[in-house]
Structure 1
Amino acid sequence: MNLRKGLAFAGVTILTAATASQAHAAEPSELQQQIDTVLANTTGGVQISPNEIAWEGGQAIMSFPLPGEEVAPPSSQAAIDLQTQQAGVSKQSVKAAAAAGEALAAASDSCPTEVFGNDWYCFYQYRDFGGRRLQWNQAKHDVVFFSQFDFVNKTSSWSNKGGKYIYVQGRSQTGYDRSCWEKPLILWQEAPHTSKAFVGSSLDNKADCFWTSY
């Protein structure tokens, strides 16, 4: 190989390597891929932070574990802003509570707590409050289907920080949401201010819908 051909070949090799490196750098992270999948499988979701999706102005918020972590972190500032709106409290009161040393996010399960007034209830992808966290604040008298949030059959633990009763049910017919309401499989009831680190083997990954008391 003469010098000119050798340099040309080297140039192609370097260019190809650089192009491949740029393409690799442009690929979304595993976390972003997970978020993109949920957004593609649902309607109305908006990504509000690197690891959170909100629906209906924050009525429902899904939080993902950060890279290298097994548990979703406490709510981001973007989520807190939405939570204060949903709970009907001012940002000033949240800041005052923080200054007084009260926790913004909660105990070990990171389900938002009484600092927001109308406490939240959360569902978790894995036992011990691990994986994705899907949370609500308001009472839901009409059944809510987990399929709307790409969370069908994905609940292994839960935390109910508020005063509502939460009634969790499963489909009696696979793939048919209405069967979760018309002829549901009754799975469990969440009493106010309780939590469960594991729903049990017989109930694990069976939840398809829920509704709440007033």
Structure 2
Amino acid sequence: MNRRLHRRVVQLAAGIALLFGASLTANSSAQADASSGLPSVASTDARSSVTTLTAAQRADLQSQVDETLSTTAGGVQISANEIAWNGGEPILTLPLPGQEQAPAASPAARDLMGFSADDATPDVNWHKCPAGGDDNRWYCFYENSNFGGRRLQWNWAHCQDPIAFDDYGFARKASSWVNTTRNIDHWGMKVEVYSTSVRLWVENPWSQVAYVGDSKNDRAMHAFACRL
């Protein structure tokens, strides 16, 4: 074999090896994603608090999300630990493994809420319940006392059609709450929470309660939220 032909054969072999190696790498990555068992919104969640979780922790978190999705209707997973309904009108946030309180909204949730990077201010962003402009302040319900556990949040009025907590896997689970809406006409929101027929408590704008009390704990079934 002459030198020129030998060089061509070597170059061709090297090219084939490179392509084959790239194919193996791509296939391995695809298999890794598939074997993780996580949907893309969870596997691509780049928050450091998520990426540092172990595979077992991420699988456990996903099983909690899957359970909620399987027992409710219309929910869409938007991150490793968040579910949104109706385009983000309500959002349910689960605590990450090892945390007692649900974390602040993910970038995906903030996009749905219409928040800019600087929109939430610490003085009114109580216990991760988001507060933006006058017309983008939220009211939140928490699974545990002291604003712990899962967080379920809204910012829309529900004065005629009540919020049914069972639609979001949150019936008889509320133990604390936050209302970040401002106490001014048209922007403030007054929230009234009921069991089946008894009014349990009233949430006035710009207020919070760390524990609803033994007689009201884990009894909330639905709520009305009306503009002032």
State the TM-score, normalizing by the size of structure 1.
Answer: 0.73
| Residue of 151, 157, 163 corresponding to 1:133 | 151
Structure 2: give runs of 5+ residues left out of the alignment: 1-34, 38-54, 182-187
Asked whether 1:52 is paired with 2:82, we answer: yes
Q: Does the CA-based 8 Å contact 1:170-1:209 persist in structure 2?
A: yes
What residue number does 2:168 align with? 149
- CA displacement, residues 143-181 of structure 1 (integer Å, 9 cap, x when unaligned): 11111001110000000011110010001xxxxxxxxxx
Structure 1 segments (4+ residues) deviating >2 Å: 22-28, 102-108, 114-118
| Residue of 204, 216, 224 corresponding to 1:191 | 204
Please give the alpha-carbon distance, in whole angstroms, between the structure 1 residues aligned to 2:36 and 2:83: 26
Q: How large is the Cα RMSD of the aligned pairs?
A: 2.4
Q: Does the CA-based 8 Å contact 1:105-1:113 persist in structure 2?
A: no
Asked whether 1:213 is paired with 2:226, we answer: yes
Q: Does the CA-based 8 Å contact 2:140-2:153 persist in structure 1?
A: yes
Structure 1: give runs of 5+ residues left out of the alignment: 1-21, 85-90, 172-183
Query: Pairwise mapping of residues 153-164 of structure 1 onto structure 2 (< 5 A)?
Result: 153-162=172-181, 163-164=188-189
Query: Pairwise mapping of residues 18-33 of structure 1 onto structure 2 (< 5 A)?
Result: 29-33=59-63
Please give the alpha-carbon distance, in whole angstroms, between the structure 2 residues aligned to 1:146 and 1:115: 26
Please give the alpha-carbon distance, in whole angstroms, between the structure 2 residues aligned to 1:104 and 1:115: 13
**CA shift for structure 1 position 116:** 7.0
- CA displacement, residues 38-69 of structure 1 (integer Å, 9 cap, x when unaligned): 10010000000001000000000000111100
Higher RCO (Cα < 8 Å, 6 or more apart): 1
| Number of residue pairs the alignment of both structures matches | 169
Q: Does the CA-based 8 Å contact 2:191-2:225 persist in structure 1?
A: yes
Q: Does the CA-based 8 Å contact 1:104-1:112 persist in structure 2?
A: no
Q: Does the CA-based 8 Å contact 2:126-2:180 persist in structure 1?
A: no
Query: Pairwise mapping of residues 161-176 of structure 1 onto structure 2 (< 5 A)?
Result: 161-162=180-181, 163-171=188-196
What is the identity, as a one-letter code, of the residue corresponding to 2:169?
Answer: D
